[in-house]
Structure 1
Amino acid sequence: MTNTSISNFAFKGANVRAFEDADGKPLFCAKDVAEALGYTNTNKAIGDHCKGITNRYPLETAGGIQQMTFIGEGDLYRLIASSKLPAAQEFESWIFDDVVPSIRKHGGYMAGQESMSPEEMALASMRWLQSKVAEQAKQLEAQAPKVAFSDALTVSKDCILVGHLSKLLHQNGVQIGQNRLYQWLRDHKYLSSRKGSDWNMPTQKYVEQGLFQIKIGTYSPTPERTFETRTPMVTGKGQQYFVNKFLGYKGIGKAA
């Protein structure tokens, strides 16, 4: 998963990514900094001048998600001090006077914030936060099928009663009781609605798909009388299927 707290800011057209780690220390994408400082061989520059601990984080790039090296303030200063770019001193002042304080105070940097009025700064901050919320919501939506699938894997490997399936669905946020679930399963042809011995029995199609099994037993009201009983049981595969179906994932669609 990519780090969604990373901010982008520009120095004379060069894009530099940075964020504040869990300890409150600003970290900078080493490759971005080296390019902004005019190094032609960024990997060599990072290897030659960065002496501290480097951290690697996944970032979205033109070639897909890649692990990128991030450096702390010490190595940032070493790269600046070793740069032959005329604007290196200006870059240093901008980083330490504007960007770093902004990251520590606001969690990010907005281009042009130095010339903004307090009202403009507040509006820009609100728009930035809204974009971050929308971005995270989009990522959660994209991940939702995987989350549902993962949650479904925690279901019982043993067969369970339909009533227990309703409890499992309830644990996953689906408000449906045993009677309503039976009715839903009959309405959608998973269980037979034919009166008699087939009532509430799984239809052959879904038995063959492995969603149900039929438990055969006996019932003896008296020593002289014994009856065969048949009980629909939901398999582990069936539990996973119905959890995902009711949650509307995996392309199945929300249950009616």
Structure 2
Amino acid sequence: MRLSSPNINVMVKACRKAAKILIRDFGEVEKLQVSLKGPGDFVTVSDKKVEKILIDELQKARPNYSILSEEIGLIKKDEEFKWIIDPIDGTANFLHGVPHFGISIGLEHNKEIICGIIYDPIKNEMFFAEKGNGSYLNDQRMRVSARSKLMDCIIFTGGPSFKSNDEDKKLSLKEYEKFSSKVGTPLRKMGSASLDMAYVAAGRCDGFWQRNLNYWDIAAGIILVKEAGGFVTDFNGNDKYIENKNILVTNSKINEQMIEILKY
């Protein structure tokens, strides 16, 4: 990897160790698809196993850092530094044997994300970034796309889910309809918010929006996109996406066009 720093090295090591379990368990999930029991309980156990490995590795390297993780919640220690972890982002894909999910780790310093890593263990793609040092996919520098017209773009989205309230479901479907009439290719719903953000950073897609995302869903992606030259805002173009949980990620050139559709 071209970008190397103590924190990035710690994150990479943790991801690779956890990924060994994840890949093995994914093979078992594929077998469970045809069983009467189904894979649900197995996936829950897998999620917790991956989380434990990540936490153990990160705590071993940085014992004083706080940790916020999807399954276990907050482990409060040093308030200056905090790891934000999503052990399996794209759990539904994992559950159904769809090979599109990732491990996501962000590092926060004084409420600002300074490092992020998103690892797709199936494709062996390591997306990572550090503040001021750029954004990378394996050993290649990443840049967002240069497309400036929505008609030429591919846009990713997520939701609504069964957890969404009725109002959010209505708004999400309305947004989907509005975008569908303005984007040249169909919208994509891939099922992993962190990988969606990584793909914007890599220039594979041009924008992404979603409602009701948790911090661990987006923490690593925030720094990836920013260091690749993209924009991260809420639907009104402000930086309140962590507070209101509504995030818009773009290559920067289509940001205003997307805000015009999404703002409320």
TM-score class normalised by the smaller sequence: under 0.3
Structure with more contact order per residue of length (Cα contacts < 8 Å, sep ≥ 6): 2
More helix by percentage: 1
Larger Rg: 1
Normalising by structure 2, what TM-score?
A: 0.19
Normalising by structure 1, what TM-score?
A: 0.20
